Amino acid sequence: MKIDGALTQALTGIRRGLDSARDHAGQIANNDNPAELVEPLVGLKRDELQVRASTEVLKAADRMIGSLFDEKA
């Protein structure tokens, strides 16, 4: 995968994870029935993992770009 593709995918993953987390947090905040909290809570955890994984991809791409610059110098 090209570096710009990795950056794009990472940023897209972070954005999607945060958007989904916002939705799940709203469902939790607006819910009066504790029995209906399971799905949004699990979704919120899944969103956290999505953002963390995408952040790791972004860090890896950043390190790769840094390595390329080091080789050019």
Task: Give pLDDT tens digits for 13-59.
Answer: 999 999 999 999 999 999 999 999 999 999 999 999 999 999 999 99
71 pLDDT tier (thresholds 50, 70, 90): low
Given this model, what pLDDT does residue 67 score? 77
Given this model, what pLDDT does residue 1 score? 54
Q: How many domains does the chain have?
A: 1
> Cβ distance 57 to 69 under 8 Å?
no
70 pLDDT tier (thresholds 50, 70, 90): low
Amino acid at 65: I
Judged by DSSP in three states, 33 sits in: coil
72 pLDDT tier (thresholds 50, 70, 90): low
Q: How far apart are CA 7 and CA 58, in angstroms?
A: 6
Residue 54 burial (CB < 10 Å; 0-12/13-18/19+)?
A: buried
Query: How far is residue 71 from each of residues 5, 57, 61, 64, measured CA to CA in Å?
Result: 21, 21, 15, 11
Determine the structural domain holding residue 50 and report its residue range: 3-72
